[in-house]
Amino acid sequence: MLEALAEPVLIVVRHAPLSQDANDDMVLEVAINGRADAIVTNNTKHFREPAKRFRLEVMTPAELLNEFRQRR
């Protein structure tokens, strides 16, 4: 269902290395270049510090669902 809402993101500016994990860097690069508001992951530990530099919120799927429920 989320795939239907997804849009391709062109990586114009590379900021890597951002974290200790190249796979995490890939997610951060897409979020930064795609001008995301947040990264939703169960791996918040590795994303919080690098995401702060770009004012990206990092939250778990449960936190996102709670936020949606509170907005109703």
- This prediction has a pTM of 0.82
Nearest to 39 by CA among 10, 50, 4: 50
Mean pLDDT of the 43-64 span:
94
Q: Report pLDDT for 39.
A: 96
Q: Report pLDDT for 53.
A: 92
Instruction: Give the tens place of pLDDT for each residue, 1-46.
Output: 678 888 899 999 888 788 888 889 999 999 999 999 999 999 999 8
Q: Report pLDDT for 40.
A: 96
Within 8 A by CB and 6+ apart from 61, the residues are 40, 41, 42
pLDDT interval class at 65 (50, 70, 90): very high
